């Protein structure tokens, strides 16, 4: 029987707590939730999950019960194809509340992508790879022992372990009871005691397995349709929907186990990959490049400033293209293409990687609301970016799904990226010759000024004089308007407003004056 350790409003599900600490009411509720969940899972016709059927476009939806599954039982004939990997075990990482509405990161994400790739005919052109769970030893290439055991073991196996190995030096790893009735590491990152550990390990193992086959030459490149995502997971911290950093673990596996010398990681997610940056901040053998919404640290997770360049021997090998200026205007295709021309491709070519890993977060794709991104990059642009990266490392590259929560957007982006891996590239020519917006120009100027010290191929990005003048005039107008507004507030109310308006505004003006 599971036992629950309670501290305030949070609790840790563990199997070694003494009976004196049990809270019968809370435990009864937990057991009831588990029973309800098992009953829900029992109603799923598992046979349908493995049945290959023609899929209509409208089935790219989390509500679609038919899940085409990789035909992994057929004999494999290796022929330098593009590989794809996916496993239905990752669908079981769901909140106990059973609702997608409260949780942007849900099983319907990968279910929808897999259906789209099936119905588009792209899967028939790829080799489907059987996934596997990563071992705890593999996970500990990046994560601490207690983090790996806490989030990587089943309840039954966890009961057999020394509690000190689970908790580490400080027992901080507590699960919260969420408003929806489920459990979470935080308000975003849900936890399912029965299935989350298996799904998280499967996500890591799928990426490792695919990358290993590309590294050995069995495949030319590949795309891992996996969840939960990973790039926010730090050495001993789960956050931002992430438990284990799949891409970071795979990078260390390639280097330490398969002797791949230099690895490039490109993070396309609209959120900065704080966990990946942490893992390689002092490592010159792994170059980390991230394009993300930064807004001077006011966008989640708040890290990824341009001057975060690495430390010690890794100085200069951590590159952040940190977009600022909010959504006025939103960043789009032109800005991402400019970043590739000015920063990413010159540095990547100079670095000469032996392998490329892409944290393929698709939440910068148009269709995401401002809290989850708000940018306007098109799916076709993402395909073009992947096509450029294929010119590196003799094309040895693996994409691993990270974020992205608008189902249409992530399906479109996945289709475009897989098309690129297969050799297709559909970006309209005229997009390549436009100029980025002023905010993006200043962001690129800051990044290139910093990294031109470390890389010979990087030249400082020059913002045109006309743009500088326009920006200066804009700032002057804003300052003038602010001064005028303050001056207006300092005028006596009776002199500034007609009598009928003064009574309605006097209280508000007094408040502003106090501020």
Evaluate if residue 77 carries a pLDDT over 60: no
Q: pLDDT: is 361 or 169 the higher one?
A: 361
**What phi, psi does 11 have (nearest 5°)?**
-150, 155
Identify the DSSP state of 100: S
Identify the DSSP state of 234: B
Identify which of 141, 281, 269 has the alpha carbon closest to the alpha carbon of residue 211. 141
> Which range (115-129, 143-157, 387-401) has the least confidence?
143-157
Evaluate if residue 507 carries a pLDDT over 80: no
pLDDT at 167: 62
Evaluate if residue 417 carries a pLDDT over 70: yes
pLDDT at 61: 44
Identify the DSSP state of 392: S
pLDDT at 159: 65
Residue showing tokens 């009961």:
159
Name the band, by pLDDT with cuts 50, 70 and 90, for residue 489: low
**What phi, psi does 189 have (nearest 5°)?**
-95, 95
Given the DSSP bridges, would you call strands 175-177 and 183-184 parallel, antiparallel or unpaired?
A: antiparallel
pLDDT digits (tens, 9 = 90+) for 301-323: 999 999 999 999 999 999 999 99
Residue showing tokens 């730090």:
234
> Looking at 232, 271, 272, 451, which residue is catalytic?
232
Q: pLDDT: is 100 or 504 the higher one?
A: 100
Is there a contact between 407 and 108 (Cβ–Cβ < 8 Å)?
A: yes
pLDDT at 25: 40
pLDDT at 99: 85
Mean pLDDT across the stretch 401-417? 97
Burial 380-402 (b: 16+ CB within 10 A, else e): bbbbbbbbbbbebbeebbbbbbb
Is there a contact between 401 and 368 (Cβ–Cβ < 8 Å)?
A: no
Q: Which of 133-137, 154-158, 476-480 has the highest mean pLDDT?
A: 133-137
pLDDT at 154: 79
> Which range (52-56, 147-151, 157-161) has the least confidence?
52-56
Mean pLDDT for the chain?
81
Evaluate if residue 216 carries a pLDDT over 80: yes
Mean pLDDT across the stretch 84-97? 96
* Spatial distance between the Cα atoms of 67 and 56, rounded to a whole number of angstroms: 12
Q: DSSP secondary structure string, 31-94?
A: HHHHHHHHHHHHTS-HHHHT------GGG-STT--------TTSPP---SEEEEE--GGGGG--
Residue showing tokens 């409260």:
102
Evaluate if residue 420 carries a pLDDT over 80: yes
Evaluate if residue 59 carries a pLDDT over 80: no
pLDDT at 113: 98
Evaluate if residue 469 carries a pLDDT over 90: no
pLDDT at 101: 84
Evaluate if residue 398 carries a pLDDT over 70: yes
pLDDT digits (tens, 9 = 90+) for 323-359: 999 999 999 999 999 999 999 999 999 999 999 999 9
Name the band, by pLDDT with cuts 50, 70 and 90, for residue 266: very high
Residue showing tokens 């001077």:
296
Name the band, by pLDDT with cuts 50, 70 and 90, for residue 75: very low
pLDDT at 6: 38
Q: Is 232 a catalytic residue?
A: yes
Percentage with pLDDT > 90 across the chain: 63
Evaluate if residue 10 carries a pLDDT over 60: no
The arrangement of strands across the sheet holding 81-85 comes to 127-129, 81-85, 219-224, 397-401, 355-360, 263-267, 286-293, 318-323
* Pure H helices in 153-256: 155-159, 163-167, 196-216, 246-256
Percentage with pLDDT > 70 across the chain: 69
Evaluate if residue 384 carries a pLDDT over 50: yes
Q: Which of 96-110, 226-240, 455-469 has the highest mean pLDDT?
A: 226-240
Identify which of 188, 307, 280 has the alpha carbon closest to the alpha carbon of residue 241. 188
Is there a contact between 361 and 215 (Cβ–Cβ < 8 Å)?
A: no
């Amino acid at each position: 029987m599971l036992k629950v350790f309670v501290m305030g409003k949070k609790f840790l599900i563990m199997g070694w707590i003494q009976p004196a600490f049990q809270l019968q009411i809370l435990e009864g509720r937990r057991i009831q939730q588990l029973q309800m969940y098992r009953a829900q899972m029992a109603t799923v016709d598992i046979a349908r999950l493995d049945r290959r059927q023609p899929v209509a476009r409208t089935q790219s939806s989390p509500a679609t019960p038919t899940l085409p599954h990789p035909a992994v039982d057929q004999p494999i004939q290796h022929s330098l194809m593009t590989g794809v990997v996916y496993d239905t075990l990752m669908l079981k990482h769901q909140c106990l509340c059973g609702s997608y509405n409260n949780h942007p990161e849900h099983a319907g994400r990968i279910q929808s992508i897999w259906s789209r790739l099936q119905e588009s005919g792209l899967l028939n052109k790829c080799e489907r790879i059987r996934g596997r769970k990563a071992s705890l030893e593999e996970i500990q290439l990046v994560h601490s022992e207690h983090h790996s055991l806490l989030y990587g073991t089943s309840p039954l196996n966890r009961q057999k372990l020394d509690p000190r190995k689970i908790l580490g030096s400080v027992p901080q790893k507590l699960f919260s009871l969420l408003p929806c009735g489920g459990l979470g590491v935080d308000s975003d990152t849900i936890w399912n005691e029965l299935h989350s550990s298996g799904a998280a390990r499967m996500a890591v193992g799928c990426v490792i397995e695919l990358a290993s086959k590309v590294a050995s030459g069995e495949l030319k490149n590949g795309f891992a349709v996996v969840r939960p995502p990973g790039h926010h997971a730090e050495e001993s911290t789960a956050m931002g929907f992430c438990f284990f950093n799949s891409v970071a673990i795979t990078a260390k596996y390639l280097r330490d186990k398969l002797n791949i010398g230099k690895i490039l990681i490109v993070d396309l997610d609209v959120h900065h990959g704080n966990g990946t940056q942490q893992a390689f901040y002092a490592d010159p053998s792994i170059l980390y490049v991230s394009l993300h919404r930064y807004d001077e640290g006011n966008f989640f997770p708040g890290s990824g400033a341009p001057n975060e360049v690495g430390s010690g021997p890794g100085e200069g090998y951590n590159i952040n293209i940190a977009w600022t200026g909010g959504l006025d205007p939103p960043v789009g295709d032109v800005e991402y293409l400019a970043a590739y021309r000015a920063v990413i491709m010159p540095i990547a070519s100079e670095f000469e990687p032996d392998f490329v890993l892409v944290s393929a977060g698709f939440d910068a794709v148009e269709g995401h609301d401002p809290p989850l991104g708000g940018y306007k990059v098109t799916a076709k642009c993402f395909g073009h970016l992947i096509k450029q990266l294929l010119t590196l490392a003799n094309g040895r590259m693996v994409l691993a799904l990270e974020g992205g929560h608008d189902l249409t957007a992530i399906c479109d982006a996945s289709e475009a990226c897989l098309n690129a891996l297969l050799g297709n590239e559909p970006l309209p020519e005229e997009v390549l010759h436009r100029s980025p917006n002023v905010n993006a120009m200043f962001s690129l100027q800051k990044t290139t000024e910093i990294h031109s010290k470390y890389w010979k191929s990087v030249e400082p990005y020059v913002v045109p004089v006309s743009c500088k003048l326009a920006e200066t005039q804009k700032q002057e107008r804003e300052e003038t308007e602010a001064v005028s507004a303050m001056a207006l507030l300092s005028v006596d109310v009776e002199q500034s407003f007609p009598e009928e308006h003064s009574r309605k505004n006097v209280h508000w003006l007094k408040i502003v004056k106090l501020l």
